[in-house]
Amino acid sequence: MRIHVINPNSTASMTAQIAHAAEAARAEGTVIEAVTSIGGPASIEGYSDEAMAVPAMLAAIRSAEARGASAHVIACFDDPGLAAAREVASGPVIGICQAAVQVAVTVAARFSVITTLPRSVPVIEDLIAHYGAAARCRRVRAVDLPVLALEANPATARTRLLAEARAALREDGVDAIVLGCAGMAELCDWLSRETGVPVIDGVTAAVKLAEALAGGGFRTSKVGAYAFPRDKTGDQVGAAGPAR
């Protein structure tokens, strides 16, 4: 099967990190196609960045569908445009936040999320509530570093991430940690060794879930909310009559 992994931002080096995590997670016979969004923001850090990223991301998903993609992974923890992506795709579309949350509630009784900037905390809190896991998530924490600083300043990123993870174990009473940014994927195994608890990377979780859904023959429903977008050609004349 072919899994299309789309980085909704335009930073190619982050796509390379995401691709590495996806390749490490894939099963034998799965082909990973990691793609950088063209013309999107350099990073996604808020609602306006999400909105700017979605059109190019949807175009990339349509293109991947035409190339025969079995499933799609949106590799941004805000899960930008997830519902819209499910409208345009026939294969399953997995957001890395939703995938990570599903894994977390399966392998642990309580979890906390560690993300980049404080402004991302309410976004993630709302997503977790939307996915029905608010009662299981003890806290969303931030290391107070921009997304691109994870790569530009890796030593600081490691130090702050480990400090927040240890604080989560000490103060939140959690059994697992979820990494709240695709750019943190390469730190997952290291952080799990340092803390002794499961650390869940959304890219890995989403690739495995995409493989399971595609392998099981599951497709996105095209009846109701996720039906393909309508062709509205002629709607105006048909609804209101000819112009006078």
Residue pLDDT, tens place only, 14-29: 999 999 999 999 999 9
User: Number of folded domains in the chain?
Assistant: 2
> Do residues 186 and 210 both lie within one domain?
no
Which is nearest to 85 in space by CA: 185, 180, 8? Answer: 8
Check whether residue 10 and residue 82 sit in a common domain: yes
Please give the residue range of the domain that contains residue 46: 2-95+204-215
| 36 within a domain of the structure (yes/no) | yes
CA atoms of 55 and 60, how far apart (whole Å): 9
pLDDT tens sequence across 63-114: 999 999 999 999 999 999 999 999 999 999 999 999 999 999 999 999 999 9
Regarding whether 193 and 148 lie in a shared domain, the answer is yes
The pair of three-digit structure tokens given for residue 203, joined into one six-digit string: 């890219």
Q: Are residues 46 and 68 in the same domain?
A: yes
Q: CA–CA separation, 1 vs 70, rounded Å?
A: 6
For residue 153, count CB atoms less than 10 angstroms from its CB and return exposed for 0-12, middle for 13-18, buried for 19 or more.
Answer: middle
Q: For residue 179, what are the β-bridge partners?
A: 114, 201
53-72: b (≥16 Cβ within 10 Å) or e? bbebbbebbeebeeeebbbb
CATH number at residue 9: 3.40.50.12500
Residues 128, 149 share a domain: yes
Same domain, 163 and 179: yes
